[in-house]
Amino acid sequence: MELEIERKFLVRDTSFKKEAYKRSHIRQGFLNSDKHRVVRVRLIDDKGYLTIKGISNDSGTSRLEWEKEIDAKEAISLLQLSENGVIEKYRHYVRNEHLVFEVDEFLGENIGLLIAEIEVSNEKETFKKPSWLGEEVTGIEKYYNSNLYKNPFNNWA
């Protein structure tokens, strides 16, 4: 099991798309959304994944994560068992020096929401912030994917 250390940011505009070197379509659902042990199934383009994540630390930047690639047909079947449906989004990959921003452009009930994540090697690691990067939302639970299907962005006041 690995320790995932990431920071999340809102995105100001879509200018990041000009910098993206790759885009994937993601469908994901949660088999368990308890914050102590989130179990997620994901279909990224034509590959399936099963992921288990532990509870985040106090700052929301790190938590234990286990992920395994599974057969795409199995992932599709497991998506049908998801709690309250499936989240869909496009993920854009943008290089930033030696790191990569993963910018999620949400679809469906979360359309209009743009969130960038960056995985870092430690919580104090610094990186260049592109002009399209907005407010940091690391640790704010309403922006967790496991909460966005329960309370979609389009329902926020």
Q: 10-residue block means of pLDDT along the chain (157 residues)?
A: 93 98 97 92 98 91 95 97 92 96 97 97 93 97 92 92
Q: Ramachandran region of residue 154, left (φ > 0), alpha (ψ -120 to 50) or beta?
A: alpha
Residue 75: what pLDDT?
98
The verdict on pTM exceeding 0.85 is: yes
Sequence-ordered alpha helix ranges (H) in the chain:
72-79, 145-148
Q: Residue 68: which CATH number? A: 2.40.320.10
Residue 58: what pLDDT?
87
C-alpha distances in angstroms, 124 versus 7, 24, 120? 11, 29, 9
| Angstrom distance (rounded) from CA 33 to CA 117 | 20
Residue 85: what pLDDT?
80
Number of domains into which the chain is organized = 1
Query: What range does the domain containing 60 cover?
Result: 2-155
Taking every pair of Cα atoms in the chain, the longest distance, rounded to a whole number of angstroms, is: 40
Residue 23: what pLDDT?
98
